[in-house]
Amino acid sequence: MSFNLPELPYPQDELEPHISAKTLSFHYGKHHKTYVDKLNLLIKGSEHENKSLEDIIMSTSGPIFNNAAQVWNHSFYWKCLRAGQDNNQPTTKIAELLTKTFGSIQKFIELFTDKAINNFGSSWTWLVINKNNDLEIINTSNAGNPITDGMKPLLTCDLWEHAYYLDYQNLRPKYIEAFWKLVNWDFVETNL
């Protein structure tokens, strides 16, 4: 079995002006595609060839893990986004859980933003359901993925520079500010 680059859930210009079509063409069309292509080369003829992406992530390390996790992380990240909305707020169950756990939706956004801004280097910030069945904000580095620690991802923000450098250069906080206008809260809720 080989993996394919999944279709984006929207046209490449749908996230503008917050994330440009140019950034998406490089991020999705070059970076994400390269992870898919490298993973397929690495698993060809190996014991991992017929495993699911999740099984590969849970049972490998090194280059195979890095590429498999980056395929998974990026595929998940694209679904976390949708066309921008100025007053983009969660509703229904996810709003209730965020308020119960963090005190308010605004407090959750502040905490997540702070963790993301201070997540060093190439990394990801996640909202997860942890092993205690509670909501938690965590950081991972490089290709790290919360499923390896028994957590269930609900939302992620890609903090590798290729996610934002063409649009925001070194201004990660500006990218994260734009990210909140793009969050697909309906998708987040489906992950509960």
Q: What gap in Å lies between CA 103 and CA 51, rounded to an integer?
A: 41
User: In sequence order, what are the residues at sequence separation of 6 or more whose Cβ sits closer than 8 angstroms to the Cβ of residue 141?
Assistant: 119, 120, 121, 122, 123
Q: What is the pLDDT of residue 137?
A: 98
- Kindly report the backbone phi and psi dihedral angles of residue 25, in degrees, each rounded to the nearest multiple of 5, phi listed first: -65, -35
Looking at the structure, do residues 102 and 129 belong to the same domain, yes or no? yes
Q: What is the pLDDT of residue 158?
A: 98
Q: What pTM, to 2 d.p., does this model score?
A: 0.96
What phi-psi label fits residue 124: left (phi over 0), alpha (psi between -120 and 50 degrees) or beta?
Answer: beta
Looking at the structure, do residues 109 and 53 belong to the same domain, yes or no? no
Of 55, 79, 103, at which residue does a domain stop? 79
Looking at the structure, do residues 155 and 123 belong to the same domain, yes or no? yes
pLDDT tens sequence across 68-94 = 999 999 999 999 999 988 889 998 899
The DSSP line for 107-169 is HHHHHHHHHHHTS-SSEEEEEEE-TTS-EEEEEEETT--GGGGT-EEEEEEE-SGGGTHHHHT
Looking at the structure, do residues 161 and 96 belong to the same domain, yes or no? yes
Q: What gap in Å lies between CA 178 and CA 113, rounded to an integer?
A: 11
Residue 6 lies in a domain: no
Q: In what order do the strands lie in the sheet with 152-158?
A: 135-141, 123-129, 152-158
Looking at the structure, do residues 68 and 146 belong to the same domain, yes or no? no
Looking at the structure, do residues 104 and 71 belong to the same domain, yes or no? no
Residue 11 lies in a domain: no
Structural domain range at position 70: 21-79
Burial 140-150 (b: 16+ CB within 10 A, else e): beebbbbeeee
Length, in residues, of the chain? 192
CATH number at residue 107: 3.55.40.20
Domains contained in the chain, number: 2
pLDDT tens sequence across 98-132 = 999 999 999 999 999 999 999 999 999 999 999 99
Q: What is the pLDDT of residue 91?
A: 85
Burial (CB < 10 A; 0-12, 13-18, 19+), residue 71, is: buried
Chain mean pLDDT for the chain: 96
